């Protein structure tokens, strides 16, 4: 039985490392951690992250930024209490353009981040994804479902990187005694998403604000569920501070079709846009909705921000970017 390394003391101000800390989700997590008294070290190589997402933190004595590819060895002085591994491309456009980097950050990057946690005696959380369920044959998706993934399809590089990351995380937990947490993130939206991200929220909002046609794939009857980013990071924070080693879905179980969502965006923006239909991409999930029973019972968490309110904040942000 491996000897478990003693965790760094959390009696003083805790130190958190956030990989992918300049990304959409990572930067919101950094803000939450700073607001709750953590010292934060963010690591990002800006492949998909942006300095704009963390520019407001310049001069904050509790914040440090390191520009680095996390697939390389991570060396840090001083104690670390928590490692939040968020580094990864996360949109179809990204992982179609940079599939090898996507696979590397999910495998080598996860290995290096886990190595840091092991070395520091820190608790580790990996940002996994609903994409590990693939095009699901079970609906809604529970954490017990093993998924339906096309390993050699165009989305396979992302899906399999995340599935490998989960496996590596559990291996470190079992063999080295690292305290680990796994969050499976469902569709999330909010300020700091990239306009050219390729995901449905920035795509529809940017098209609507320009009065361009909204592109709906297939007949638009595929479903998605949308969680506002502040709800998501709150759930993730609670997961890290829980005792749940098993994966936990974090997302909004309110499900709607993509066509319904397109109409909602047109209404919310006051756009003159029309809707056009294009062929459905390969392996595009037909249904996506989390079962959040585990999050409710173990974390006492559920989303609170209504879609109308979240969209208002998101659209305001995109107005300044279009």
DSSP state of 78: S
Catalytic residue among 158, 172, 189, 237: 158
Mean pLDDT of the chain: 93
> pLDDT grade, residue 283 (50/70/90)?
low
Per-residue pLDDT at 93 exceeds 90:
no
> pLDDT grade, residue 322 (50/70/90)?
confident
- 189 catalytic? Reply is no
**Any domain includes 274:** no
Of 60-69, 231-240, 274-283, the least confident: 274-283
Better-scored residue on pLDDT, 223 or 179: 179
**Any domain includes 83:** yes
- pLDDT over 70 percentage in the chain: 96
d(CA 66, CA 223): 38
CATH (domain of 90): 3.40.50.720
Q: CA-CA distances (angstroms) from residue 211 to 201, 206, 249, 275, 310?
A: 15, 9, 35, 11, 21
Per-residue pLDDT at 281 exceeds 90:
no
**Any domain includes 200:** no
**Any domain includes 279:** no
Per-residue pLDDT at 96 exceeds 50:
yes
**Using one digit for the tens of pLDDT, what is the confidence trace for 157-203?**
999 999 999 999 999 999 999 999 999 999 999 999 998 887 889 99
**Any domain includes 150:** yes
- Split into its structural domains, the chain has a count of 1
d(CA 219, CA 107): 36
Q: Dihedral sign for Cα 196, 199, 201, 203, please.
A: positive
**Any domain includes 212:** no
What pTM did the predictor assign? 0.93
Q: What angle do CA 129, 93, 103 make, to 5 degrees?
A: 55
- How large is the average pLDDT for residues 214-241? 94
Tokens of 151: 């390993």
Exposure class string for 282-298: b at 16+ Cβ within 10 A, else e? ebebebbbbbbebbeee
How many C-beta neighbours within 10 Å does residue 93 have?
A: 15
DSSP state of 118: H
**Using one digit for the tens of pLDDT, what is the confidence trace for 254-264?**
999 999 999 99
Nearest residue to 235 via CA among 193, 186, 194, 202: 186
Q: What is the dihedral of CA 251, 256, 258, 260, to 10 degrees?
A: -140
- Which residue range forms the structural domain that includes residue 235? 15-192+226-253+290-305
Residue 127 and residue 185 in contact, taking contact as beta carbons nearer than 8 Å: yes
C-alpha 119, offset from chain centre: 25
**Any domain includes 178:** yes
**Using one digit for the tens of pLDDT, what is the confidence trace for 44-54?**
999 999 999 99
> pLDDT grade, residue 10 (50/70/90)?
very low
The residue to which tokens 């709800």 are assigned? 231
**Any domain includes 43:** yes
> pLDDT grade, residue 248 (50/70/90)?
very high
E strand or H helix at 231, and its extent?
A: helix 229-240
Of 89-98, 101-110, 292-301, the least confident: 89-98
Confidence at residue 134, expressed as pLDDT on a 0 to 100 scale: 87
């Amino acid at each position: 039985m491996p000897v478990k390394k003693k965790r760094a003391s959390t009696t003083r101000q805790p130190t958190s490392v956030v990989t992918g800390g300049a990304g959409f989700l990572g930067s919101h997590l950094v803000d939450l951690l700073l607001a709750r008294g953590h010292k934060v070290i963010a690591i990002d190589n800006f492949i998909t992250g942006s300095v704009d997402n963390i520019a407001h933190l310049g001069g904050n004595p509790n914040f440090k930024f390191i520009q680095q590819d996390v697939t390389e060895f991570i060396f840090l002085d001083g104690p670390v209490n928590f490692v939040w591994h968020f580094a990864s491309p996360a949109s179809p456009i990204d992982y179609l353009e940079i599939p090898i980097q996507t696979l590397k950050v999910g495998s080598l990057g996860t290995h290096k981040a886990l190595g840091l946690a092991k070395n520091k005696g820190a608790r580790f959380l990996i940002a996994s994804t609903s994409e590990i369920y693939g095009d699901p044959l079970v609906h809604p998706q529970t954490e017990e479902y093993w998924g339906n993934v096309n390993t050699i399809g165009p989305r396979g590089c992302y899906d399999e990187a995340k599935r490998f990351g989960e496996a590596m995380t559990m291996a470190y937990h079992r063999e080295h005694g690292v305290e680990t947490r796994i969050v499976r993130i469902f569709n999330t939206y909010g300020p700091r998403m990239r306009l050219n991200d390729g995901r449905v929220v920035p795509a529809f909002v940017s098209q609507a604000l320009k009065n361009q046609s909204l592109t709906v794939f297939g007949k638009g009857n595929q479903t998605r569920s949308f969680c506002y980013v502040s709800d998501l990071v709150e759930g993730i924070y609670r997961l890290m501070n829980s005792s749940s080693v098993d994966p936990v879905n974090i997302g909004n179980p309110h499900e709607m079709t993509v066509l319904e969502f397109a109409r909602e965006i047109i209404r919310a923006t006051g756009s003159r846009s029309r809707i056009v239909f294009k062929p459905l991409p390969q392996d595009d999930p037909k249904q996506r909705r989390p079962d959040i029973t585990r999050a409710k019972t173990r974390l006492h968490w559920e989303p609170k921000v209504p879609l109308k309110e979240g969209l208002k904040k998101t659209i305001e942000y995109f107005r300044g970017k279009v």
